[in-house]
Chain A
Amino acid sequence: MVRTTRLGTSKRSVLAAVLCCGLAPAQSSLSVASKIVTSANDFLSSLDEGQRSKVLFEFNDAAQRMKWSNLPTTMVPRAGLKMGDLSGPQRKAAMGLLAATLSQRGFEKVLAIVEGDEALRVASGGRGSMFGRDLFYISILGKPSVKDPWMLQFGGHHLALNITMAGLDGILTPSLTAAQPAKYTVDGKTVRPLGAENDKAFALINALDEGQRKQAILNYRVADLVLGPGQDGKTIQPEGLKCSAMNLSQQAMLLDLVAEWAGIVNERAAAVRMAEIIANLSGTWFAWSGPTTNGMPAYYRIQGPTLVIEYAPQPLGGDPTMHIHTIYRDPTNDYGKKSIRR
């Protein structure tokens, strides 16, 4: 459902029409929310009493809500249920819940990140016990409901999905996606979990004219995420090129890039989110640090009134392009705080 609180009727109608025709699938918000709740209850039903007590938390459990990191779970322990401790059917039910909550592309991206960690485990040999697909955790805060707020968390090394379901809204912020290795092969096929985030950004920076690039490219190195894990509630002064100084084609490229994060969640929730980001596009900034040739390590940030995205290659003992961290935030609605108030 489109957020309607402050929109005029005509704009609301136009937006609704556009979203219905353009972005959102035919399913209603209620049916999407119902499907997610059903999947959550299916997962919970597959667990025994002890497992349920481990996976369920109070919705207001602030400590659990903020217990996420880019680091391996052996270093920064997560609570909830570990994938490696689930039976086959339980694991399938957990993945079913994730699939119902996310878009197909988002689900595939998450699987690619998880499998990347599995590839890291295999490549690390005896030193790989802190990596792998078995070391990802799932937790649920609150009682799954189409009416009352609840939250699904799924994460581990290089992944933290914090999805707040507030009525019919699905809020994905804050979430962290990352990849190491950023490129690996499965059955001879190359997988790049964050390849689109890289390629679309390089396409955008190279679509800017010289004057625009001069504004967008920062004159300093950015060695890490500024607003990564542990930096909830903070916002920094924006820099770079303002989107109002981009032409329509460049703005469309930027939105397409933003959709790599906003589109992780299911299509209905993503459509609402993208509409909000578009509404604030004129106040959104694009900043870049590093070379502009694809294949080289470069940091970028997209920041608007309701959006912070950072993409940061990590120079940790090797090729920075093979180790990427990203963060996705909404400073006005992280953990669904705005939606819950409504």
Chain B
Amino acid sequence: MRRMGIGALLALSLPEGAAAHRLDEYLQATLIGVTRDATDLEIRLTPGVAMLPVLMAVIDQDRDGRISPEEERAYVGRVAREVELRVDGVPAPLSLIESQFPTLEAMREGLGTIRMKLRTPRSGHTLRFENRHLPQVSVYLVNCLAAPSDGLVVTRQKRDEAQRSIEFEYSFGAGAAPEPRAAWIALAPFWPAAIGMLLAARMAVLIYSGKHDKRTSKSSTS
């Protein structure tokens, strides 16, 4: 509620366009890609319009109002240090593969996303990831990418309430996931039910359309 209240106040005072995108949160989204011999972290950091001063206080170390290449590198290094990846319970060293900074103008408009990719040459059976970067102002997303063509099977996913951390178990099967054909065949006993549902869904749609048409005839939206 407090955040919503602040947001409403900010919306009144911020420049044009502020209502269109993120305001008072720093969105940190991580996708984890596991393969048989490595683990990748793809991190996207999007500061809301009102978060830029907070972020600049962290990034702009010489306070000149700009972000130099050195400051970009220092910030990316800080993020890399403030995330932790454990493979089979052991901390895994992370190397920066690539990073990309948006323009300051884009960040001022709430459009800029800092992107970075980290990798460890380690894989195993259990993984734990935690993001400890700027928790006071951030919201988090963290997910494991699916890789059915590699036969990746992920089980026992667990996260904390804020999605700052995730842990899961994983293994690699024989290979490619079942083709759609297999799905159709596997569904064979389900066919009568599927047909019933299809018709039920159609009836629901028709009923909905009937109601909708009545509403539409009363008021046009265009």
Contact = CB atoms under 8 A, between A and B. Distances in A.
Q: Give the top 9 A-B pairs by smallest Cβ distance, nearest first.
A: A189-B219, A317-B11, A317-B7, A6-B181, A223-B139, A235-B146, A236-B143, A252-B200, A127-B16
B183 A115 contact: no
A115 to B, nearest CB: 5
Interface string B159-183: 1111100001000000001011101
B144 interface: yes
Contact of A187 (B109, B177, B212, B219): B219
A195 B19 CA distance: 21
Given A127-B16, A130-B16, A221-B162, A236 B219 contact: no
18 contacts: A18-B195, A18-B199, A105-B212, A112-B221, A187-B219, A189-B218, A219-B159, A221-B139, A224-B29, A237-B144, A248-B193, A252-B204, A255-B201, A256-B201, A317-B10, A318-B11, A319-B4, A332-B180
A340 interface: no
A224 B180 contact: no
Contacts, number: 193
Contact of A279 (B25, B27, B194, B222): B194
B197 A317 contact: no
Given A75-B20, A237-B154, A315-B7, A22 B198 contact: yes
Nearest to A338: B180
Contacts of B22: 316
B18 interface: yes
A180 to B, nearest CB: 8
B95 interface: no
Contacts of B181: 6
B140 interface: yes
A239 B157 CA distance: 8
Interface of B: 3-4, 7-8, 10-11, 14-25, 27, 29, 31, 48, 109, 111, 139-141, 143-146, 148, 154, 157, 159-163, 168, 177, 179-181, 183-184, 186-188, 190-191, 193-202, 204-205, 208-209, 212, 215-216, 218-222
Contact of A236 (B145, B179, B205): B145
A279 B183 contact: yes
Contacts of A75: 17, 20-21, 109, 111
Nearest to B28: A223
Given A255-B201, A256-B204, A316-B19, A111 B221 contact: yes
Contacts of A112: 221
A53 interface: no
B145 A234 contact: yes
A18 B198 contact: yes
A274 interface: yes
B17 A278 contact: no
A235 B216 contact: no
Contact of A14 (B139, B162, B191, B219): B191
Contacts of B3: 315
A341 interface: no
Given A236-B144, A319-B4, A220 B20 contact: no
Interface stretch (A54-62, A137-145, A280-288): A280-288
A278 B221 contact: no
A214 to B, nearest CB: 15
Given A220-B159, A317-B19, A282 B198 contact: no
B182 to A, nearest CB: 9
